[in-house]
Chains A and B, each alone.
Chain A
Amino acid sequence: MLRTIGRRLLLLIPTLFGLTVLLFFWVRALPGGPAAALLGERATPEAIERINEAYGFNRPLPEQYITWLGRLLQGDFGNSIETRRPVLEEFANRFPATVELAVLALIIAVGIGIPLGYWAARNHGRLLDHVSVGASLLGITIPVFFLAFMLKWLFAVQLGWLPTTGRQDRGVDATHATGFYVLDGLLTGELDAAWNAFIHLLLPALALATIPLAIIVRITRASVLEVVNADYVRTGRAKGVSRQIIRNRFVLRNAMLPVVTTIGLQAGLLISGAVLTETVFAFPGIGAFLANAIFGRDFPVLQGFVLFIAISYALINLLVDISYSVIDPRVRIQ
C-alpha cells in the first residue's frame, strides 16, 4: 500500500503543475488588476502604470509565470499585495481556523447524518422517513449565508447564548501553540480557553454542516435501503445471525462505501464552503481572506491559497481511497 500511496503522491506533481498554469493565467484573465484594486477611485493611468512596473505586472505573461514558478520551487509563494505579508505566513495563520471549523462541521454532519440516514431507511415509507427526507431537502436548498444569519440572529442576538463573531474572546487566558484553539486549550490544560474557542465554532460549524449533513442523510438512506434487501442480508437473517451483527457488519459496513466517498468529497467542499460562513461570522480563516483576495485582485494570495487548497483536497481524497480498503477488504487501491 505504501508504494501505492507514494505513486499517488508523485502523481500530484503533474496535477499541481497543470494547476499552476491554469491558475496563473486564470487570475490574470480577470478584468482590472491589483493596481486598480489598490488605488480605487484614486487610480490614474500613470499611477497604475507605475505600480504595474514596480510589481512586474507589465512584463510578458510567460516571463511572469516562469519567475513565479521559479520562486515557488524554492518555497517562496510571494507576498500578499494587500497585506504585504508572505502568502505562506498568511495561509499558516488562517488555515488552522478553517480546518477546526471544517472538522467540527464534518463531525456534526457525519455524527448526525449517518444515524439519521440509517434510521430513515429502517423506517422506510413511514412518517419519520418522509420527515427526514423532507428536512434534508430543505437543508440542501437553504442558502448557507441565510441560515448563518438566522442561526446567529436567534442564538447570539436574541438569546445571547453564543458569540456572534470571532474565534475566542480576548478576556480568556489562552496559549496558542498550534493555532488550533480548541486543541491548544486541551493540550495546555486551559479548558476555559478550549471551551471558549469551541462555543465560537458552534454556530459557524452548524451553518457549514447543513448541506453535507443533508447529503449524507440522503446517501446513507439510499445506500442502506439497497443493502438491506441484498441476498447476503436475507441469508444472514435466515441463518439466525443476531440483529446487531446484521446491522453493524452486514448492512452498515457495506452501505458505507458510497457514504465515505460522499464524506470525502464534502470534506473538500467544506473548505470552499467556509468562504461564506467565515464572512458572516467574521471568523478569521482562509475563506474570508480568499474572498477579499478575489475582489482585491491579490494575485499572489489567489495563486498560493488555491494551490494549498488543491493540495489539501488531493490529500483528503487519498485518505478516502485508503479508507475504502479498510472498510471493504475487497477494494484494493490500484
Chain B
Amino acid sequence: MCERSHKERSSTVIPSAKRRLLAGLAGGAALTLVLTGCIQSQRSDDGGGDGSAAPSDVNSTFIFAGSSDPSGLDPAFANDGESFRISRNIFEGLIGVEQGGADPEPLLAESWETTEDGLSTTFNLKSDVTFHDGTPFNAEAVCANFERWYNWTGIAATESLSYYYGSLFGGFAGDEDALYESCTADDELTATVTLTRPFSGFIPALSLPALAMQSPTAMEEYGADDVGGSAEAPEYSEYAEAHPTGTGPFMFDSWNPGSEVVLKAYPDYWGEQGQVQEIIFRVIDDPTARRQALEAGDIDGYDLVAPADTAALEEAGFNVMQRDPFTVLYLGFNQQVEELQDPLVRQAIAHAIDREALVTQVLPEGTQEATQFIPPVVNGYNEDVTTYEHDPERARELLAEAGFEDGLELTFNYPVNISRPYMPNPEEIFVALSGQLEEVGITVNPVADEWVDYLDRIQGTADHGIHLLGWTGDYNDTDNFVGVFFGTQGNEWGFDNPELFQALSEARQIPDFEEAGERYQEINEQIAQFLPGVPLAHPAPSLAFSPRVTSYPASPVNDEVYNLIELSE
C-alpha cells in the first residue's frame, strides 16, 4: 500500500504566516525556539514572489479553501458546488453570466438568434479561441459537446452523474421527452442547435458550468465517457481525473485528493489574463479550521463564512463580502396533514411569522426578507405579489375561524448539524420560528433529523408537518426555483394543484425571456395566494479574504472566475 508516487516541484509562494512578536517573547522551551527558526527560514526561502510569470511583483498564487474535494473534474458529470468552483476557472460555456448579476450574456457565443417557433437557435461563435490542448474552438466542437451529452447511456445517463443535462434536456437519445434534436455546424464559427420543443430556459441553462464546452480531442484521447466500471462501482474516466480541458483562463495542473487542486494560468487565453497565475483550491472541511487558516495567513480566502464569524473577521482587518442572494429559505407545509389543507390555517401561520426578526436576529448579514419563492434578481420576480404581514392578532383570528380557537398542534421538522447556503443555522431558525408560532397559540412538536435522514423523510415520505428547506439557484431561470418546488405532485408539499402544474409546464415552454418573465410574475402571485409554504428569506452567503485581496468577482450564481481577482501584494 503506497501512495501514487509523484514529485511536486513548484516555484509558488507560501504566504508568510503572521509572525507575531509574541514568538520572540514566548521564549521557553528550546524545542519551540528551534522549530520557530526552522519554519521561518523555510517560509522565507519559499517566499519572495513568483517573479517569472507574474505581471507585477504581487504574489500571484491565490489559495482558496473549499469545503471538500471536487467530485470530479469533468463538470458535465458534476452537480456539486466544489466541482463547479474549480471548473468555472477551467471551462467556459457558450453563454456567460453578467458580472455580479444573474442574467445571461455572450461568452463563447458572441451572439445568437432563435427562430420564431423557439425550436432552433443559431450561435455565432467567438473566433481565435483554443482549448488548453491547442484544439480550436469552433462549431464542430460545440456540436461534439451536444452530441456527447445526448448520447450518454447507462450509468452516465443517471442523475448521479449527468444530473443537469438529464433534468434540463428531458433525457437522452431514445427518451420520449428528450429535448435535444440536432446540432449542425453551418460553418467554422456558426452552429445551430435544434430542440424538439421550445424551452424558455435554454439560453440561461447554457451558462451552467455543467454545460460548458470541453475539448473534443481531449475527451476522446482520455476517454471522457468511459465512466463504466460496474453499475455498483461506477468510476470516472481518466479525463475527469486528470485531463479536464476547456477554454478558460486557467488550466489544470494537479489534484492531490483530500489536499488540493492546482490550476495554472493558460498563456494563450483569449481574454484578460489577470494577476493570478496559479490557483490552489485547498480542502478544509471544517468552517472553524477555514477561519483559522485564513487568520494564520495559510489561505487567501474561503467561502460560506459562519454568520457568527463575519463581525470578528472584519474587525481583525479581513475583507468580508456577501454575494447577492440567489437562495430561498422557506417554511413548507405538508398538505397531507389535515389541518394544513385548510387555507385559513396556512394563512394564520404566514401571519404569525416575523421575517424581519428572523433576518435581523438569526440570519447572516446581507440576507433579504422573502415575499416569494424566487430571489429578486430572478426573471419573473413580482414586486406586487400578495404578502402576509406579521400580525399575530390576525393569525389568532384566522385560527379561530378555522375552528382552532383552543389552539393547534403541528409537527415541525428541521435538520440538525448541517449548514446550507440558504440555511446556515437550521437549529436557530427553528427556535426563532417556533417561538413565533407558539405566540399565536400553535403548539409545535419538534422533530429533528440528521441531514440525509431529514431529506429522506421530507422528500421520500408523507411523515412530516411544517418543515424548513430551501434552494440555491443554479442560473437565472425561474423554473429552476418554482418549477422544481411546485412543478409536479410530490411528497414534500403533499398537494395536488393541476392548475399550478399546468401553468408551470406552459411557462417552461415560452422561448422569449421577457414574455416568460411576465408569465412567471402571474404564477408567483398564484403561488402566493395558494400559499403552499411561507417564503422566509434570501440568505446571502459570505466570503472572507485576506487584506491583500482588493477585489473579488462575487456572483449570486457563483460564477466567479479568478482572472478578475485583484491583489495588492
Contacts and interface: CB of A to CB of B under 8 A. Distances in A.
15 contacts: A31-B452, A36-B456, A38-B159, A44-B490, A45-B459, A96-B1, A152-B289, A152-B292, A163-B39, A169-B42, A171-B10, A173-B9, A176-B5, A199-B38, A280-B288
Given A171-B10, A199-B39, A284 B460 contact: no
Contact of B233 (A31, A169, A178, A300): A300
Interface string B297-311: 110000000000000
Interface string A145-162: 000010011001111111
Given A84-B234, A196-B42, A292-B68, A54 B158 contact: yes
A199 B454 CA distance: 41
Given A79-B234, A81-B160, 5 more contacts: A50-B158, A78-B232, A85-B257, A164-B296, A280-B288
A95 interface: yes
Interface in A36-83: 36-45, 47-48, 50-51, 54-56, 67-68, 76, 78-79, 81-83
Contacts of B9: 173
A145 B460 CA distance: 34
Interface of B: 1-10, 12-14, 17-20, 22-23, 26, 32, 35-36, 38-39, 42, 46, 68-69, 71-72, 79, 154-155, 158-160, 163, 167, 227, 229, 231-236, 241, 256-260, 262, 280, 282-286, 288-289, 292-293, 295-298, 420, 449-457, 459-460, 469-471, 484, 490-491
Given A56-B231, A171-B12, A199-B39, A35 B257 contact: no
A125 B289 CA distance: 42
Contact of B292 (A32, A67, A153): A153
Contacts of A296: 452
Contacts of B18: 157, 160
A79 B229 CA distance: 9
A330 interface: no
A192 interface: yes
A90 B235 CA distance: 13
A175 B282 contact: no
B20 A159 contact: yes
A268 interface: no
Contacts of B17: 156, 160, 163
Given A41-B471, A159-B26, A282 B13 contact: no
Contacts of B163: 39, 42
Contacts of B38: 195, 199
Contact of B285 (A42, A76, A282): A282
B293 A32 contact: no
A43 B469 CA distance: 13
Contacts of A81: 160, 234
A212 to B, nearest CB: 21
B69 A164 contact: no
B283 A179 contact: no
Contacts of B260: 166, 170
B324 to A, nearest CB: 20
A178 B231 contact: no
Interface of A: 30-33, 35-45, 47-48, 50-51, 54-56, 67-68, 76, 78-79, 81-86, 90-96, 149, 152-153, 156-167, 169-179, 192, 195-196, 199, 202, 279-282, 284-285, 288-289, 292, 295-297, 300
Given A32-B456, A84-B234, A162 B3 contact: no
A50 B158 CA distance: 7
A281 B258 CA distance: 12
Contact of A36 (B12, B282, B459): B459
A13 to B, nearest CB: 20
Given A36-B459, A84-B236, A199-B35, A179 B1 contact: yes
B257 A93 contact: yes
B298 A164 contact: yes
B295 A157 contact: yes
A94 B1 CA distance: 10
A287 to B, nearest CB: 11
Given A171-B46, A281-B289, A96 B455 contact: no
B481 to A, nearest CB: 11
Q: Closest 10 A-B residue pairs measured CB to CB? A: A179-B3, A284-B258, A32-B452, A171-B46, A160-B17, A32-B456, A79-B233, A282-B284, A31-B453, A92-B1
A154 to B, nearest CB: 10
A152 B285 CA distance: 15
Looking at A31, A161, A169, A196, which has the most chain B CB atoms within 10 Å of its CB? A161
B285 A292 contact: yes
A160 B296 contact: yes
A196 B42 CA distance: 8
A285 B12 CA distance: 24
A295 B7 contact: no
A289 B68 CA distance: 10
Contacts of A284: 256-259, 283
Contact of A279 (B42, B79, B285): B285
Nearest to B459: A43
Nearest to A175: B7
Contacts of A179: 1-3
A35 B72 CA distance: 17
Looking at A33, A37, A156, A157, which has the most chain B CB atoms within 10 Å of its CB? A157
Looking at A48, A83, A179, which has the most chain B CB atoms within 10 Å of its CB? A83
Contact of B455 (A43, A78, A167, A196): A43
A48 B2 CA distance: 36
Nearest to B241: A85
B452 A160 contact: no
Contacts of A82: 71
Contact of B1 (A86, A95, A295): A95
Given A56-B232, A96-B3, A44 B459 contact: yes
A57 to B, nearest CB: 8
Contact of B296 (A90, A156, A199): A156
A163 B42 CA distance: 12
Looking at A32, A153, A174, which has the most chain B CB atoms within 10 Å of its CB? A32
A162 B40 CA distance: 10
B232 A55 contact: yes
Contacts of A163: 17, 39, 296, 298
A289 B258 contact: yes
Nearest to B280: A170
Looking at A79, A149, A171, A296, which has the most chain B CB atoms within 10 Å of its CB? A171
A85 B227 CA distance: 11
Contacts of B490: 44-45
A179 B257 CA distance: 13
Contacts of B154: 54
Contacts of A175: 5, 7
B292 A164 contact: yes
A284 to B, nearest CB: 3
A307 B71 CA distance: 24
Nearest to A178: B2
B453 to A, nearest CB: 4
A51 B167 CA distance: 14
Nearest to A64: B232
A174 B8 contact: yes
B236 A161 contact: no
Contact of B451 (A86, A157, A295): A295
Given A54-B160, A149-B288, A161 B452 contact: no
B292 A149 contact: yes
A159 B39 CA distance: 12
A282 B232 contact: no
Contacts of B451: 295
